[in-house]
Amino acid sequence: MRVLGVDPGLRNMGWGVIDAMPGRITHVANGVCHSDGDNLGERLLSLYNQLIEVIAAWGPETAAIEQTFVNKDAVGTLKLGQARGVALMTLAQAGLRVGEYAPNAVKKTVVGVGHAAKDQVDYMVRLQLPGVKLNGPDATDALAIAMCHAHQSRGGRGLEQALARAKG
Protein backbone atom coordinates (compact mmCIF):
# COMPACT_ATOMS: atom_id res chain seq x y z
CA MET A 1 0.00 0.00 0.00
CA ARG A 2 1.41 3.39 -0.98
CA VAL A 3 0.60 6.07 1.60
CA LEU A 4 0.84 9.85 1.25
CA GLY A 5 1.16 11.73 4.53
CA VAL A 6 0.40 15.46 4.64
CA ASP A 7 1.45 17.92 7.33
CA PRO A 8 -0.77 20.92 6.55
CA GLY A 9 0.54 24.45 6.74
CA LEU A 10 -0.11 27.68 4.90
CA ARG A 11 3.53 28.56 4.24
CA ASN A 12 4.96 25.06 4.20
CA MET A 13 2.90 21.92 3.59
CA GLY A 14 5.00 18.84 4.22
CA TRP A 15 4.40 15.62 2.33
CA GLY A 16 5.86 12.15 2.57
CA VAL A 17 5.25 8.95 0.63
CA ILE A 18 5.93 5.46 1.95
CA ASP A 19 5.23 1.94 0.80
CA ALA A 20 3.78 -0.22 3.56
CA MET A 21 3.91 -3.98 3.26
CA PRO A 22 3.31 -6.54 5.99
CA GLY A 23 6.20 -6.16 8.42
CA ARG A 24 7.99 -3.50 6.39
CA ILE A 25 7.74 0.22 5.62
CA THR A 26 9.99 1.84 3.03
CA HIS A 27 10.57 5.44 2.10
CA VAL A 28 9.55 6.55 -1.39
CA ALA A 29 9.80 10.36 -1.38
CA ASN A 30 9.30 13.45 0.76
CA GLY A 31 9.26 17.19 0.36
CA VAL A 32 7.58 20.48 1.13
CA CYS A 33 5.09 22.51 -0.88
CA HIS A 34 5.90 26.20 -0.35
CA SER A 35 2.97 28.55 -0.90
CA ASP A 36 3.44 31.33 -3.40
CA GLY A 37 1.33 34.39 -4.08
CA ASP A 38 0.44 37.86 -2.91
CA ASN A 39 -2.82 36.99 -1.17
CA LEU A 40 -4.42 34.10 0.68
CA GLY A 41 -6.32 32.80 -2.34
CA GLU A 42 -3.19 32.64 -4.49
CA ARG A 43 -1.24 30.92 -1.72
CA LEU A 44 -3.95 28.27 -1.25
CA LEU A 45 -4.13 27.72 -5.02
CA SER A 46 -0.36 27.32 -5.08
CA LEU A 47 -0.55 24.60 -2.42
CA TYR A 48 -3.37 22.86 -4.29
CA ASN A 49 -1.40 22.79 -7.55
CA GLN A 50 1.74 21.49 -5.87
CA LEU A 51 -0.14 18.77 -4.00
CA ILE A 52 -1.75 17.65 -7.28
CA GLU A 53 1.77 17.30 -8.72
CA VAL A 54 2.87 15.18 -5.75
CA ILE A 55 -0.14 12.88 -6.17
CA ALA A 56 0.47 12.56 -9.92
CA ALA A 57 4.17 11.87 -9.45
CA TRP A 58 3.94 9.26 -6.70
CA GLY A 59 0.52 7.61 -7.16
CA PRO A 60 -0.55 7.02 -3.56
CA GLU A 61 -3.35 4.56 -2.85
CA THR A 62 -4.39 6.21 0.40
CA ALA A 63 -3.55 9.33 2.38
CA ALA A 64 -3.35 10.69 5.90
CA ILE A 65 -3.38 14.20 7.30
CA GLU A 66 -2.79 15.71 10.69
CA GLN A 67 -5.81 17.14 12.48
CA THR A 68 -5.80 20.83 13.29
CA PHE A 69 -4.97 21.73 16.83
CA VAL A 70 -6.27 24.96 18.32
CA ASN A 71 -3.65 27.32 19.67
CA LYS A 72 -3.71 30.79 21.21
CA ASP A 73 -3.50 32.54 17.83
CA ALA A 74 -7.04 32.29 16.44
CA VAL A 75 -6.08 33.88 13.11
CA GLY A 76 -3.19 31.42 12.70
CA THR A 77 -5.45 28.50 13.54
CA LEU A 78 -7.99 29.66 10.96
CA LYS A 79 -5.34 29.97 8.23
CA LEU A 80 -3.99 26.52 9.10
CA GLY A 81 -7.53 25.19 8.83
CA GLN A 82 -7.89 26.73 5.38
CA ALA A 83 -4.66 25.09 4.20
CA ARG A 84 -5.82 21.80 5.71
CA GLY A 85 -9.15 22.17 3.89
CA VAL A 86 -7.36 22.65 0.58
CA ALA A 87 -5.28 19.53 1.25
CA LEU A 88 -8.36 17.47 2.17
CA MET A 89 -10.20 18.66 -0.94
CA THR A 90 -7.21 17.83 -3.15
CA LEU A 91 -6.89 14.33 -1.68
CA ALA A 92 -10.62 13.69 -2.03
CA GLN A 93 -10.59 14.99 -5.61
CA ALA A 94 -7.86 12.44 -6.36
CA GLY A 95 -10.14 9.70 -5.04
CA LEU A 96 -8.00 8.93 -2.00
CA ARG A 97 -9.44 7.76 1.31
CA VAL A 98 -7.99 9.95 4.02
CA GLY A 99 -7.15 9.09 7.60
CA GLU A 100 -7.03 11.97 10.05
CA TYR A 101 -4.80 11.80 13.12
CA ALA A 102 -4.23 14.04 16.11
CA PRO A 103 -0.61 15.13 16.58
CA ASN A 104 -0.35 13.13 19.82
CA ALA A 105 -1.60 9.97 18.09
CA VAL A 106 1.08 10.33 15.39
CA LYS A 107 3.81 10.81 18.01
CA LYS A 108 2.56 7.90 20.10
CA THR A 109 2.54 5.60 17.07
CA VAL A 110 5.97 6.60 15.74
CA VAL A 111 7.85 7.38 18.96
CA GLY A 112 5.83 5.59 21.63
CA VAL A 113 5.13 8.80 23.56
CA GLY A 114 2.23 11.16 22.77
CA HIS A 115 4.08 14.29 23.82
CA ALA A 116 7.36 13.53 22.05
CA ALA A 117 9.60 16.41 20.97
CA LYS A 118 10.29 17.16 17.29
CA ASP A 119 13.84 15.79 17.55
CA GLN A 120 12.47 12.49 18.89
CA VAL A 121 10.08 12.20 15.93
CA ASP A 122 12.96 13.00 13.55
CA TYR A 123 15.13 10.32 15.17
CA MET A 124 12.45 7.63 15.00
CA VAL A 125 11.54 8.43 11.38
CA ARG A 126 15.22 8.10 10.44
CA LEU A 127 15.51 4.88 12.45
CA GLN A 128 12.45 3.28 10.81
CA LEU A 129 13.33 4.50 7.29
CA PRO A 130 17.07 3.78 7.04
CA GLY A 131 18.98 6.03 4.65
CA VAL A 132 16.14 8.55 4.28
CA LYS A 133 17.12 12.11 3.34
CA LEU A 134 14.59 14.32 5.09
CA ASN A 135 13.64 17.56 3.35
CA GLY A 136 12.96 19.52 6.52
CA PRO A 137 10.81 19.22 9.63
CA ASP A 138 7.51 19.53 7.74
CA ALA A 139 8.45 16.61 5.49
CA THR A 140 9.57 14.63 8.55
CA ASP A 141 6.19 15.20 10.19
CA ALA A 142 4.42 14.16 6.98
CA LEU A 143 6.37 10.88 6.88
CA ALA A 144 5.45 10.29 10.52
CA ILE A 145 1.77 10.87 9.64
CA ALA A 146 2.05 8.38 6.76
CA MET A 147 3.72 5.84 9.06
CA CYS A 148 0.96 6.31 11.65
CA HIS A 149 -1.66 5.68 8.97
CA ALA A 150 0.13 2.56 7.76
CA HIS A 151 0.19 1.13 11.29
CA GLN A 152 -3.42 2.12 12.03
CA SER A 153 -4.67 0.78 8.68
CA ARG A 154 -3.09 -2.60 9.28
CA GLY A 155 -4.93 -2.90 12.57
CA GLY A 156 -8.19 -1.83 10.98
CA ARG A 157 -7.88 -4.28 8.09
CA GLY A 158 -7.07 -7.10 10.49
CA LEU A 159 -10.16 -6.32 12.52
CA GLU A 160 -12.31 -6.13 9.37
CA GLN A 161 -10.95 -9.48 8.18
CA ALA A 162 -11.57 -11.10 11.57
CA LEU A 163 -15.14 -9.81 11.64
CA ALA A 164 -15.74 -11.09 8.10
CA ARG A 165 -14.42 -14.56 9.08
CA ALA A 166 -16.64 -14.57 12.18
CA LYS A 167 -19.73 -13.75 10.10
CA GLY A 168 -18.98 -16.15 7.30
| Model pLDDT, residue 111 | 94
Cα→Cα distances 59→40, 103, 116, 127, 137, Å:
28, 25, 31, 25, 23
CB burial readout 86-122, b (16+ within 10 A) else e: bbbebbeebebebbebebebbbbbbbeeeebeeeebb
- State how beta strands 62-66 and 98-101 pair: parallel
| DSSP state letter for 136 | S
Min mean pLDDT across 14-28, 48-62, 68-82, 136-150 is at 68-82
10-19, 28-37, 76-85: range with lowest mean pLDDT: 76-85
Active-site residue, 66 included:
yes
What angle is formed at CA 118 by the lines to CA 23 and CA 51, rounded to 5 degrees?
Answer: 70
Q: Which of 38, 73, 122, 138 is catalytic?
A: 138
End-to-end, the C-alpha distance of the chain in Å comes to: 26
Which member of 66, 119, 141, 160 is catalytic? 66
At residue 160, the pLDDT reads: 41
Residue count (the chain) = 168
Q: What is the C-alpha to C-alpha distance for residues 112 and 121, in angstroms, rounded to an integer? A: 10
Q: Which residues have CB under 8 Å from 71's CB, separation 6+?
A: 77
* Model confidence band, residue 75 (pLDDT cutoffs 50, 70, 90): confident
pLDDT at 11 over 70: yes
Q: What CA–CA distance (Å, rounded) separates 123 from 10?
A: 25
Average pLDDT score over residue span 100-121: 94
User: Catalytic site residue 160?
Assistant: no
pLDDT bracket for residue 76 (50, 70, 90): confident
The pTM for the full model equals 0.89
pLDDT digits (tens, 9 = 90+) for 127-154: 999 999 999 999 999 999 999 999 998 7
Q: Which residue has the higher pLDDT, 156 or 1?
A: 1
Q: Is 61 noted as a catalytic residue in this protein?
A: no
Query: Could you say which of 7, 61, 119, 122 is catalytic?
Result: 7
168 pLDDT above the threshold of 80? no
pLDDT, mean of residues 71-97? 91
Residue 167: predicted pLDDT: 52
Strand partners, 24: 21
Q: If you average pLDDT over every residue of the chain, what do you get?
A: 90
Mean pLDDT, residues 62-79 taken together? 85
Q: What is the dihedral of CA 96, 1, 117, 6, to 10 degrees?
A: -20
Residue 133: alpha-carbon gap to chain centroid = 17
